[in-house]
């Protein structure tokens, strides 16, 4: 059993898609287990760039079973646009399947997300406004519509009868927003049922149990990152799903006993989009340099990402709560021209000098904390062509070794550029 989860080990945008894409070549099944079209996964193949929001990037390989699991939320219009765009580019989508248990993001979820963000002033979360929070709230509040509901008119009508009166009251009285008639929602759902029809996988139980019996190689593709996890992230500045390794089990329908490896993907520095604490954030020229060299602008929203030095305290926390067994470090080439590179090894309370070696989960404390850094010499060499550890300059090797020591688990993949080829794989979990 070699089943492997790829999970973001920071605040998202760590380069998970590239790692997933690389490993997908060796996997039989790829499962996206949480999140929705808030994700923006970029894959570069032969100088061609693909941007995925909902669809597992594994579709770029033929003959793979690519499954969008029950833990995801699916916005029908985004799904349609993404599948159409991929088809136009000649990508074969015959292996793409969606779980009947995934939850549908409806137009009012997008309305509510946008209004909440626009009217919350300094309390806004900085969401992607893709309706993620409102869809997951409805799911856990038991007001959600599942993909399978779209195909059962009797059930759909009874669900809408239960949901719409309250939803419309909230939309009108709280959000002062447009309401939705039952007929309008029925038409919307019927239209998208047709679009989903070729992809819905009603026989998923049979399929997944078959894969497990045949010991097929399963790759779980996480979205966002552990620090955005609804339970373990910097709450409330988080997304509404479970990107942690454990989320792969709940979100896919495959239990934890079938998961062997959990690869945490982290950049050689850290970024975050949206609001929320970020102890190693650099608001100076260095932060700007990292943003420009690293192209740190959101794939989904285009927003400039906040940048900072690598935070080993946060990484150790991610290793614990994310169940990480190994790391993939990406974008180390961004430091090619840097004289010095810093790593945060602890936090210090500015008020009394208290040192924190473990991540404090009360984010109100974070404003009093400053990073304790150690400084490493840069390598001042272009490493974007490195194919093995031997090709890396000693200072780059030292930096990686130190990260490994501080995080406490081995680094098994190093990415030195955006292309598939620009990767040093020390150990492939599927081989």
Q: Give the number of residues written for the chain.
A: 431
Residue 145 as a binder of ligand IMP (CB under 6 A): the answer is no
Choice from 4, 5, 7, 12 touching ligand IMP (CB under 6 A): 12
Q: Which two tokens stand for residue 26?
A: 């060796």
Number of neighbouring beta carbons within 10 Å of residue 213: 8
Cβ neighbours around 110 below 10 Å, total: 18
Q: Which is nearer to ligand IMP, 17 or 383 (CB)?
A: 17
Q: Is 215:61 a contact under the CB 8 Å cutoff?
A: no
Q: Does 126 bind ligand IMP (CB under 6 A)?
A: yes
| All residues at 6 or more sequence positions from 424 whose CB lies less than 8 Å from its CB, including other chains | 386, 387, 388, 389, 391, 392, 413, 414, 415, 416
Residue 274 near ligand IMP by CB under 6 A = yes
148 scored as a contact of ligand IMP (CB under 6 A)? no
| Closest to 16 in 3D by CA, of 413, 429, 426 | 413
Does residue 111 belong to the site contacting ligand IMP (CB under 6 A)? no
User: Could you say which of 21, 41, 311, 376 is catalytic?
Assistant: 41
Stretch that binds ligand IMP, among 10-18, 181-189, 259-267, 316-324 (CB under 6 A): 10-18
Does the footprint of ligand IMP cover residue 130 (CB under 6 A)? Answer: yes
Identity of the residue, 224 or 415, whose beta carbon is nearer to ligand IMP in the bound complex: 224
- What's the number of CA atoms in the CB half-sphere (13 Å) around residue 225? 28
Using rule CB under 6 A, residue 224 touches ligand IMP? yes
Structure-token pair, residue 142: 């038991």
Taking CB under 6 A as the binding criterion, the range among 11-19, 70-78, 360-368, 416-424 that sits at the site for ligand IMP is: 11-19
CB distance 251 to 34 below 8 Å: yes
The nearer residue to ligand IMP, 270 or 341, going by C-beta atoms, is 270
13 lines the binding site for ligand IMP (CB under 6 A) = yes
Give the residue, chosen from 57, 127, 250, 422, that forms a contact with ligand IMP under the rule CB under 6 A.
127
Applying CB under 6 A, the site for ligand IMP has a residue count of: 21
Residues 70 and 250: their CA atoms lie apart, in Å, by: 8
Catalytic residue from among 13, 111, 113, 149: 13
Is 152 catalytic? The answer is no
Q: How far is the CB of 223 from ligand IMP (least distance, A)?
A: 6
> Which range binds ligand IMP by CB under 6 A, 99-107, 235-243, 250-258, 347-355?
235-243
Helices 153-169 and 182-196, axial angle in degrees (round to 10): 130
- Spatial separation of the C-alpha atoms in residues 180 and 108, rounded to whole Å: 8
Q: Does 132 bind ligand IMP (CB under 6 A)?
A: yes
Q: Which residue is nearest to ligand IMP (CB)?
A: 274
Provide the minimum distance between the beta carbon of 156 and ligand IMP in the complex, in angstroms, as a whole number. Answer: 26
Minimum Å gap between C-beta 54 and ligand IMP is 11
Active site residue 358: no
The two tokens of residue 342 are: 């810093």
Assess 128 for contact with ligand IMP (CB under 6 A).
yes
* Residue 214 C-beta: closest distance to ligand IMP, Å: 32
Residue 422, preceding bond cis, omega within 30 degrees? no
> What's the CA gap between 25 and 42, in Å, rounded?
16
Smallest distance from ligand IMP to CB 281, Å: 14
Interaxial angle between packed helices 312-322 and 394-407, expressed in degrees from 0 to 180 and rounded to the nearest 10: 50
Question: Are the C-beta atoms of residues 372 and 347 closer than 8 Å to each other?
Answer: yes
| Distance (Å) of CA 175 to CA 106, 206, 375 | 16, 43, 50
Q: Report the catalytic residues.
A: 13, 41
Query: Footprint of ligand IMP on this chain (CB under 6 A)?
Result: 11-13, 38-40, 125-128, 130, 132-133, 223-224, 228, 237, 239-240, 273-274
């Amino acid at each position: 059993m070699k089943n492997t989860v790829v999970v973001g080990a920071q605040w998202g945008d760590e380069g998970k898609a590239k790692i997933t894409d690389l490993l997908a070549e060796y996997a039989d099944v790829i499962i996206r287990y949480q999140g929705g079209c808030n994700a923006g996964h970029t894959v570069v193949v032969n100088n061609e760039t693909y941007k995925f929001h909902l669809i597992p990037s594994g579709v770029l390989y033929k003959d793979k079973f690519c499954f969008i699991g029950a833990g995801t939320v699916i916005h029908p219009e985004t799904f349609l646009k993404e599948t159409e765009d991929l088809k136009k580019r000649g990508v074969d989508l015959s292996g793409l399947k969606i779980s009947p248990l995934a939850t549908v993001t409806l137009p009012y979820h997008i309305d509510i997300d946008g209004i909440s963000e626009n009217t919350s002033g300094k309390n806004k979360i900085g969401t992607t406004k893709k309706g993620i929070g409102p869809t997951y709230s409805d799911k856990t509040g038991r007001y959600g519509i599942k993909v399978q509901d779209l195909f059962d008119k009797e059930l759909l009508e009874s669900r809408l009868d239960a949901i719409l009166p309250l939803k419309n009251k909230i939309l009108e009285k709280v959000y002062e927003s447009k309401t939705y008639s039952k007929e309008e929602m029925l038409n919307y759902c019927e239209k998208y049922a047709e679009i989903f029809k070729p992809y819905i996988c009603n026989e998923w139980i049979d399929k997944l149990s078959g894969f497990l019996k045949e010991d097929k190689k399963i790759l779980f593709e996480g979205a966002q990152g552990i620090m955005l996890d609804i339970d373990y992230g910097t709450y409330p500045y988080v997304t509404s799903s479970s990107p942690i390794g454990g989320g792969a089990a709940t979100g896919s329908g495959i239990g934890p006993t079938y998961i062997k490896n959990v690869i945490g993907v982290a950049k050689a520095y850290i970024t975050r989009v949206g609001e929320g604490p970020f102890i190693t954030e650099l608001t100076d020229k260095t932060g700007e340099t990292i943003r420009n060299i690293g192209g740190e602008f959101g794939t989904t929203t285009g927003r400039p990402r906040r940048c900072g030095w690598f935070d080993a305290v946060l990484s150790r926390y991610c290793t614990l709560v994310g169940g990480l067994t190994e790391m993939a470090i990406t974008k180390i080439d961004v430091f090619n021209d840097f004289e010095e590179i810093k790593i945060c090894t602890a936090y210090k309370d500015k008020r009394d000098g208290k040192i924190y070696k473990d991540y404090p989960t009360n984010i109100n404390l974070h404003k009093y904390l400053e990073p304790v850094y150690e400084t490493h010499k840069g390598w001042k060499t272009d490493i974007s062509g490195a194919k093995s550890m031997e090709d890396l300059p000693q200072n780059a090797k030292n930096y990686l070794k130190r990260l490994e020591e501080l995080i406490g688990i081995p680094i098994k993949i190093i990415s030195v550029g955006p292309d598939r080829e620009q990767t040093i794989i020390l150990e492939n979990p599927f081989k």
